[in-house]
Structure 1
Amino acid sequence: MFRPSRTAMSALAALPLVAATARARAQSVPPMVPATGTVLDITAQGRTTRIPDLATIRAGVVAQAATASAALADDAMRIQRVLAALKKAGIAPRDIATASVRLNPQYRYADNRPPTLTGYQATDSVSIRFHDIARAGPILDALVAEGANQIDGPDLSLDNPDAALDEARTDAVRRARIRADLYARAAGLHVVRIVSISESGENTGGGNAPMVYARAQLKVDTAIAPGEKDVTATLSVRFLLE
């Protein structure tokens, strides 16, 4: 007749204790949907404002030539002038990064004829960031003066949005509670507690439309107004009403 070993018997004896501990842990967390009361789900957006303290500009050069090597050589010479202008303007090397380098063949198209290769176009662009937004206009002017013929920006944003986001989150909870109290009073109930909170979105205030800067503006002193940015946080809050 089979007899379980002493080790196996000890393990079997411990199973009820393990199961009881697991049940106790599972029961320590309240359910997302309470057994009694009325559940109210509120989605609220909190908001605060900040003045942008970081500007990002993307500047590039375009060169065309009959051969690929000639186009790349001309492009490299132009981008070196742009980099020298940035260095002269006091932009730190760590705040300048290559954004893209491209080389594309150029064709001439005609009806009922195969495309004819006419040359190559090389493009090179860099991304520049700096904190003194008042310098954005002069930097744009200097870039164009040194041959940059493709410029997007400045994109104004917050360098460290964490504190502003926390303010927006706090505001979102406040707004959610005010609205929950409103619904509860209208229904003849009162708010017992918050059952759950989840964050469903945030906006740190970045991403304004790029400004295309034309060579015709070379002799104009460009002015950049930073304005204010809305920083928002969206929360979904579940309340228990009774």
Structure 2
Amino acid sequence: MLRLMFSLIKIDSHSSDQLFSSFLLSSDYFNQKRYEWQPFLMPWQIHNFKIIFKPECIRFWLKSDSTSPMKFYVTQTFIKQLKSAYSKWPVHAEDIVQEMQTSIHHYNIEGEINIPAGFGISVINNVTAEELIYAKFQGIQMNFCRVEKIYVFSGHINSLQIDNQLSKAEKRQFLHCQVNALKRGEIYCGNLFKLMPFSSDSSFSFFPAIKIEISYTPLENYDAFDPTFIIIM
């Protein structure tokens, strides 16, 4: 139903325990009604992908081109096919999860994903091929860590904007959040907030539009979650 395509692959450095690469990523899905492949993710440039294998630990970093946002196209047909595939997922999910847990059981994992240009999601009407809503997320950074049985995820989005794209309707922002929304009178770094690193030792105040922190610990009789969500408008 859905396929991923890698092109323009470049291996910058390759050794027994390190891999540095860049590539172009895209995705499409098979529309059963039209009997043809249609785009889901437009070609997206990965500027830097690095993975390092060490005893007891795997580390990876991914950074996209600062001018190349991810663009997703979502249609009603795609949603229906996704729901159909999801209904069959529980049949295979348990075996896949067990296999993944076994294969990386002895490794801790640390990862960082940096998408300065962010990504956009376009919701399209099947009948008229008209864009209904466009959501744009900019300045994205995500960090993932697995230490033994504890999983920790943190991330932030600098700005969020959702627009009404109906051709015969008044175009206005349906939702808008931006970096340092609580500090409108103070300018710390001009327009550099789009590429600002998420660092606790920063010399200036930094308030992303959305901040997420989640800790997950699977236990014998239950699973423990500790989520934190912050949205600034």
- TM-score of Structure 1 vs Structure 2, range by shorter chain: under 0.3
The structure carrying a bigger helix percent of its residues is 1
Q: What TM-score, normalized to structure 1?
A: 0.21
Q: What TM-score, normalized to structure 2?
A: 0.22
Relative contact order: is structure 1 or structure 2 higher (C-alpha 8 Å, sep ≥ 6)?
1
